[in-house]
Amino acid sequence: QVHLQESGPGLVKPSETLSLTCTVSGGSISSFCLNWIRQPPEKGLEWIGYICDSGRTNYNPSLRSRVTISVDMSESQSSLKLRSVTAADTAVYYCAKWSVQEWAFDIWGQGTMVTASS
Amino acid sequence: EIVLTQSPGTLSLSPGERATLSCRASQSVSSNYVAWYQQKPGQAPRLLIYRASSRITGIPDRFSGSGSGTHFTLTISRLEPEDFAVYYCQHYDNSPPLTFGGGTKVEI
């Protein structure tokens, strides 16, 4: 069973870059598309983007200019970088596995809270 | 971009009652690409229903999904105490983004 675990700083200063890592265990990161999703406090879910097949990416147009998602196969990790953060980027950030059988997110990490504040 | 609108925003019910949650799409979508998730406080969302009406293994049969075109429904036939949570619908499209509805909170 695939397991996902997010990690990274819980506090980022405005205008700086948010950097998070999702570590995959129990399966091969190359066998599925790894997505990043966020949830501001007391709000709904927002899809950020995904990476598949060792490098194919797709991003939410609203974030595309600031986001980079990458993968390190050797470490079985995906990285999320979000540049020029503001308070509006404060959220719980999740990584999630996309299932092409269900056409849905079937496995989620526990999430990590990131606060953009000076 | 397809927009998903969930209603009501909050549903106040008692254990044993039936819950009917609505998800409306701004344009017709394939039911193959509609899913429902449950989220409890402090937890990640959990996939309940995929392809609009198929239950994930282990999800109780009191949960059911239906719908087509622009209107989809999640029904909980008899609410159990552990069912009080927020529910999200989600749609996949070839064009980004993947979209979520705004959520329905089912509260006691």
DSSP B14-60: -TT--EEEEEEEEEEE-GGGEEEEEE-TTS--EEEEETTTEEPTT--
What is residue A62's three-state secondary structure? Answer: coil
Tell me what pLDDT residue B32 has. Answer: 87
d(CA B27, CA A90): 31
Cβ separation A47–B54 shorter than 8 A? no
d(CA A43, CA B36): 17
Cβ separation B90–A104 shorter than 8 A? yes
Angstroms from A7 CA to nearest CA on chain B: 15
Record the tokens describing residue A117, joined without a space. 């504040």
Tell me what pLDDT residue B108 has. Answer: 85
Q: Are B75 and B18 in contact (CB under 8 A)?
A: yes
The pLDDT confidence band at residue A3, using thresholds 50, 70 and 90, is: very high
Contacts of A110 (CB under 8 A, 6+ apart): A5, A6, B43, B44
For the stretch B68-100, pLDDT in tens is: 999 999 999 999 999 999 999 999 987 777 899
For the stretch A68-109, pLDDT in tens is: 999 998 999 999 999 999 999 999 999 999 999 899 999 999
For the stretch A31-40, pLDDT in tens is: 899 999 999 9
DSSP A54: T
Q: Are B49 and B63 in contact (CB under 8 A)?
A: yes
Show residues of chain A in contact with B92, CB under 8 Å.
Answer: 103-104
Contacts of A65 (CB under 8 A, 6+ apart): none
d(CA A7, CA A111): 8
Residue of A nearest to B1 (CA): A61
Tell me what pLDDT residue B33 has. Answer: 92
Angstroms from A15 CA to nearest CA on chain B: 25
Q: What are phi and psi of B107, to 5 degrees?
A: -125, 160
Record the tokens describing residue A95, joined without a space. 């990584």
Angstroms from A104 CA to nearest CA on chain B: 6
Residue with the larger pLDDT of the pair A30 and A35: A35
Q: What is the mean pLDDT of residues A49-72?
A: 92
* A24 closest CA partner among A113, A103, A97: A97
**pLDDT of B7 over the 80 cut:** yes
